[in-house]
Structure 1
Amino acid sequence: MSYKIVIDSCGELPESWKADEKIESIPLTLTVEGEDIVDDETFEQSSFLAKVAASPESPKSSCPSPERYMQAYDCEAEHVYAVTLSSNLSGSYNSAVLGKNLLLENKPDQKVHVFDSRSASVGETLIAMKIRECEEQGMDFEQVIEAVEAYIESQNTYFVLENLETLRKNGRLSNLKAFVASALKIKPVMGSTPEGTIVQLDQARGINKALMKMVDYVAEKAVGSEDKVLAISHCNCNARAEIVKEAILERISVKDVVILDTAGVSTMYANDGGVIVVL
Structure 2
Amino acid sequence: MNTQKIGILTDSGTDVPAEYAREHGIRIVPLSIHFGDDAYEDGVISREVLFKRLESEMPKTSLPATEHITAAFEAFEREGCTHVFAITISGALSGTNGMIALMARDFPNLDIRVVDTKNIGIAAGFTVMRAVEMIADGVPADEIERILVRDLRETRVFFYVPTLEFLKRGGRIGKVAATIGIALGIRPIISCDEEGAYHTVAKPRGEGKALAAAVKIAADFAKGYVCRVAVAHANALETAQRVRDDLKKHLENVKTFFEGEISAALSVHSGPGLVGIAVERVAPTAE
2:45 to 43, 46, 49: 43
Aligned residue identity for 2:54: V
Residues 1:33 and 2:44 aligned together:
no
Q: Judging changes above 3 Å, is the alpha-carbon distance between structure 1 residues 185 and 34 closer, same or farther for their aligned structure 2 residues?
A: farther
- Residues 125-178 of structure 1: per-residue CA shift (max 9 Å, x gap): 111110111011110111111122223231112110123221011232254247
Give the SS at the match of 2:277.
strand
In structure 1, the partner of 2:100 is 96
Change (3 A) 1:131 1:174: closer
Correspondences of 1:44-63 after superposition (within 5 Å):
44-55=46-57, 58-63=58-63
Q: Aligned residue for 1:180?
A: 181
1 CA distance for matches of 2:237 and 2:7? 30
Q: Distance in 1 between matches of 2:192 and 2:234?
A: 19
Once the two structures are superposed, the pairs formed by residues 1-279 of structure 1 within 5 Å of their partners are 1-20=4-23, 22-40=25-43, 42-55=44-57, 58-74=58-74, 75=76, 76=79, 77-104=81-108, 107=109, 110-175=110-175, 176-177=177-178, 180-182=181-183, 184-222=184-222, 224-226=224-226, 228-253=227-252, 254-279=254-279
Which 4+ runs in 1 deviate beyond 4 A? Answer: none
Alignment partners' CA distance in 1, 2:6 and 2:207: 42
* Corresponding residue SS for 1:216: helix
8 Å Cα contact 1:9/1:264 also seen in 2: no
Say if 1:187 and 1:205, in contact at 8 Å, map to a contact too: yes
Contact between 1:241 and 1:275, CA under 8 Å: does it hold in 2? Answer: yes
- 1:78-108 per-residue CA deviation (whole Å, 9 max, x = no partner) reads 331111110001100001101211212xx2x
Structure 1 residues 60 and 144: alpha-carbon distance in aligned structure 2, compared to 1, 3 A threshold: same
Distance 2:182 2:214 in 1: 18
- The residue type paired with residue 101 of structure 1 is R
Q: Which of 155-164 and 135-144 deviates more?
A: 155-164
CA contact (8 A) 1:159 1:190 kept: yes
Query: Quick one: distance in 2 between partners of 1:239 and 1:216?
Result: 19
Measured at CA, do residues 257 and 33 of structure 1 come closer, stay the same or move farther in structure 2, by a change above 3 Å? same
Q: What is the distance in 1 between the residues matched to 2:41 and 2:18? A: 19
Identity %: 21
Give the partner amino acid of 1:123: A
- Offset at residue 247 of structure 1 (A): 2.4
Q: 1:72 to 1:224 in 2, by over 3 A?
A: farther
RMSD, matched Cα? 2.0
Shift of 1:223: 5.4
| Cα distance between partner residues in 2 of 1:12 and 1:229 | 14
Which TM-score applies when normalising by structure 1? Answer: 0.89
Indicate conservation of the 8 Å contact 1:232/1:259, yes or no.
Answer: yes
Structure 1: 5+ residue runs without aligned partners? none
Unaligned runs of 5+ in 2: 280-287
**Aligned counterparts of 1:178 and 1:153: Cα–Cα separation in 2:** 23
Task: Write the letter of the residue equivalent to 2:228.
Answer: V
Q: How many pairs are equivalent?
A: 270
Report the more deviating stretch, 121-130 or 239-248. Answer: 239-248
